[in-house]
Chain A
Amino acid sequence: MQEHQQLSDSEITEDLTAPVIRSARWFWSFVGSLGFIMLVGISGYIYELYSGLGVTGVQRPVYWGAYITNFVFWIGISHAGIMVSAILRLTQAEWKRPITRAAEVLTLFSLIAALSNILFHVGRPWRIYWITPLPPIFIGFDFARGIWPNVRSPFVWDPVAVGTYLLSTILFVYTCLIPDIALVRDKVKSGPAKIVYSILALGFRGTPRQWKVQATAPILLSALVLPIFVSVHSIVSWDFAVSIAVEGWHSTIFAPYFIIGAIHSGVSGVVTLMAGLLWLYKLDKYIKPDHFDAIGRLLVVVATIWFFALFLEWIYALYPLEDPEIALRNMQVSQPPWSYLFIVFLLTGFFIPVSAWLFKSVRRNPMWMFFTTILVNIGMWLERFLIIVPGLSRRTELSFNWGSYAPSLVEIGLVAFTFAFVICGIIVFARIFPLIPPFDIKEGMRFRHVIKIGKKNISAVVRE
């Protein structure tokens, strides 16, 4: 990377802990407006709680709508975070340094957002604890519940998998955060903040033993979290795929297809986030065009594999030549409004961004990357919507009544809530902890070498 700048430790500390030490000028107004959106969403939810699911657009036979779409979408986004971080850690890619933490935090908040969608979607959210295998003596007051969760139901796997993923992500983020909490502890002069950071830092002093753990533990945890990450979206996809009731869902490729789609949308989410952070916190010394370039190339590969999976999904849906399946596919591509959505999905999800990313000038431009990755996520949201809704709204032999689906205002409000929540969560996290790990950047400065060959300088790095 030729754009490298050697920075002093104090400068790095100063730059990267600045958002933690004092609020930026825009902070309160930004968080305030996001808070307003969240408030609107929550009031919609209270209304929904009071009047029941009738206030949403779901009706027979389309029982799953925007909430489930949004659930799958956020689970998808959550994937990239850990994927980017874990894969880059395992392959010891040098350009991971400024990206990993932000990616992990994105995972954290998008998982919470995903889980909240389930709460919005169920009719009696106050019985959500029924999903736990707590023995009846613990919840003896609840007489209706005499039985255990049915482990043969995919809806029991979901909370197990997502809960595992959430808990592991929290632990993962915290483990990697300890040195930086110690830094903030030392940076903050006094006051209650100092006490809180001191407790959270657990007395970290930066001895060789502690640094060795900091080098090994994330790799070990990455190796453990990666299989969890693969399982979570597979399980979410099986919510659909194990059922034979709906055409277009019962396909074996669903698990890999969902995973690769999740990586596609999630890595794009990470890029969007990187560009946002770059502008918000003026991090151009740390996030370089090279980083966008590297991640852009990764995206081209991921997007192409995803498209191949989409192709296989379609071709094998048509392969048995069964009428209901053909009718469904026909409806998706030729019957408005689905056909319009389908075109938008293809263009935004694949054709526009991927053809743009083939150009180096686009990949190296944060502004371009910001918009193209947002396009991807519009496409990927529609992808989930087009899997769920048309499949359910197709007339089958035994449906007694049928209607279509359009999201109600409450649903739109709650979808907006999740977006606001994730953005707000990341901004608030960045107000409390450094979002770019200073110790990692400082390590990069020490590990860096330059190999001079003739007139060319090549950056090199210490390998351990």
Chain B
Amino acid sequence: MKKIKNNLIFTERVIERSLGKVPVNKELINIHNRKRGNTFNSFLYITAFLSVFGIIGIILRIMNGFDDMSAWSYYVTACMFIFTTFMGAPMVSMATKVARGNWRRPISRMSEIFCISGIAGLIFFTPILWVLPSLEDGRKTLWFFDPGKVPAYSPHIWSTLALLGFVLTALTLLWLNARPDFAILRDKSKGKSKIYSFLAYGWVGSTHQWGSLRDRVSVLGIFYFMLLLTVNYFFASDFLMALIPGWVDSLYPVTLSHNAIQGGVAILTIAVFIMWKWGGYQNFIGLDQLWGLGKLLFGISLLWFWFFISSLMVLWYGKKPNERDVLQLLMFGKYLPIFLFTFFFVCIIPFFALTLDSIRKSYYGPPIIALSVLIGNFLDRFRHYGSAYSLDRTIDDATHRFASLPDIAIPNMVDLMVIFGAVSMPLFFILIISKYVPVISLWENREYLLYGSHEKYYKTEVLVEGKPY
């Protein structure tokens, strides 16, 4: 405080900063360029092997034919699992960028790298187009089927387009955000500079380029979010709800998008933990990142309960025959154990564990909880898609109820191949791409040197952070 004309005034503290003499972080480049160890390679081979296994599974499944929908229940579950975990992870980068959180910087690239798993999603999705019958079977649909006026394959057409748009947007986002890093690597690394100069696509870091990067990323980020909602909207309606007669749940599309983001945060938490523990990035990833993800996971898990109870309350109170059927099918009938496990893994465990400071604010707590969320997320997908695809859709005329409810299907060999393939293939892509794209953004980390630092504040030291633009 200073005394100016009898008034005490706290003068602004000015910090001068420039990047002129600060080189690009050599350590990060070295970690990126280093020869990958045995663990990395063995993981790469295992995931590659399982992916091939998965593809064989897909072929076997196709050879069995598309007529028996119940045989496809695990397949659809596995495919949807890709979209509701791997493809939700990039949302963390988009959302924290909008909120201008500086803690995101070390994890935003990892989050964007998950965009690549969209390719695996597309591979697994394609056969489902043949599984889903045309609208001529008389089921209710979003497209309000009217023969002659509305194409009978509307769900197939529009969801494919949306999905392609989604995956392309994701890949573009990944590339755009990584472009400045490719330019750095083009100039700094030997051997691969040809690939990098192609990927950098003439990046020189002019003011114009930086400005347009920022604009494009924010516009595409919004697009990504909207497409995530759209894709999940289609998946929830025509690929699921329409297959369960009498299920009208206007909330479920939002719930599914929410599940996707929850799964995304969970898998990102695990990825960040692996980077911290085994990736050699201990100097860059700290408690802040895992704690931040833990907080996100906590909030999102609370929302899970809210979405769940919002749907349950209305259907439970409604008590119409179709509503009782739906509750029997998805929750309280034969799928009760699956439902209970889902609830436990995806809501109860994260809630009670992450309430505790000692778990939320730790290195090991959030990833373990994230694992539970992922298991729960898979079970949740199975609870919905598994039951919908194996449901016998005949309605008893006398009771207006389903004639029979499906049993929980036991996965056979092909199903297991598909499930393992669906989990491994995105991981395989991510591992491959991490060889070429730095998993910690070089430029975002360097940028932080401008905006964040520890400064002396009288008798103590504080973290001062600026939030530009």
A residues near B, CB below 8 A? 6-11, 91, 94, 227, 230, 234, 238, 241-244, 250-256, 308-309, 312-313, 315-321, 445-446, 448-454, 458-464
Contacts and interface: CB of A to CB of B under 8 A. Distances in A.
**What interface size band does chain B fall in?**
35 or more
A250 B318 contact: yes
Interface stretch (B388-396, B397-405, B418-426, B460-468): B460-468
A252 B314 contact: yes
B2 to A, nearest CB: 9
Contact of B142 (A244, A319, A464): A319
A171 B12 CA distance: 35
Nearest to B310: A255
A321 B141 CA distance: 10
B466 A459 contact: yes
Given A6-B9, A460-B15, A453 B450 contact: yes
Contact of B18 (A321, A446, A450, A454): A454
Contacts of A460: 15, 451, 464-467
B455 A449 contact: yes
Interface in B25-51: none
Contact of A6 (B10, B142, B144, B254): B10
Contacts of B466: 449, 451, 458-461
Contacts of B320: 244
B410 interface: no
A451 B250 contact: no
Contacts of B455: 449
Contacts of A461: 464-466
Contacts of B352: none
A94 B465 CA distance: 11
B291 to A, nearest CB: 13
A252 B311 contact: yes
B254 A463 contact: no
A255 B307 CA distance: 9
A448 B468 CA distance: 14
A179 to B, nearest CB: 17
B140 interface: yes
B17 A453 contact: yes
A313 B310 CA distance: 14
B314 A446 contact: no
Nearest to B13: A449
A452 B313 contact: no
B250 A251 contact: yes
A242 B252 contact: no
Nearest to B20: A454
Contacts of B233: 312
B11 A6 contact: yes
A452 B318 contact: no
A449 B250 contact: no
B251 A449 contact: no
Given A242-B314, A253-B250, A446-B10, A451 B462 contact: no
Given A8-B8, A11-B7, 6 more contacts: A238-B317, A243-B317, A252-B310, A253-B310, A255-B251, A461-B466
The 5 closest A-B pairs by CB, nearest first: A460-B466, A316-B250, A242-B317, A8-B7, A253-B250
A463 B8 contact: no
A256 B11 contact: no
B457 A462 contact: yes
Interface in B218-261: 229, 233, 237, 248-254
9 contacts: A6-B9, A9-B9, A234-B309, A251-B314, A255-B310, A312-B254, A315-B250, A449-B14, A451-B450
B161 interface: no
B4 interface: yes
Nearest to B316: A242
Nearest to B6: A10
Contact of A255 (B101, B306, B463): B306
B14 A452 contact: yes
A458 B462 contact: no
Interface in B417-467: 450-451, 455, 457, 462-467
A10 B140 contact: no
B451 A458 contact: yes
A463 B306 contact: no
A309 B254 CA distance: 9
Contacts of B137: none
Given A11-B7, A320-B140, A449-B455, A252 B12 contact: no
B110 interface: no
A457 to B, nearest CB: 8
A252 B314 CA distance: 6
A463 B462 contact: yes
Contacts of B413: none
B22 interface: no
Contact of B462 (A10, A312, A452, A462): A462
B356 to A, nearest CB: 14
A397 B124 CA distance: 49
A463 B144 CA distance: 53
Contacts of B311: 252
A241 B1 CA distance: 58
Contacts of B62: none
B302 interface: yes
B99 interface: yes
B250 A9 contact: no
Contact of A451 (B11, B17, B101): B17
A245 to B, nearest CB: 10
Among B14, B307, B310, find the residue whose CB has the most chain A CB atoms closer than 10 A: B310
Contacts of B313: 238, 241-242, 255
Contact of B13 (A238, A256, A313, A450): A450
Contacts of A252: 248-252, 310-311, 314-315
B329 to A, nearest CB: 16
A429 to B, nearest CB: 29
Contact of A458 (B307, B310, B468): B468
A316 B248 CA distance: 7
A309 B257 CA distance: 13
A450 B9 contact: no
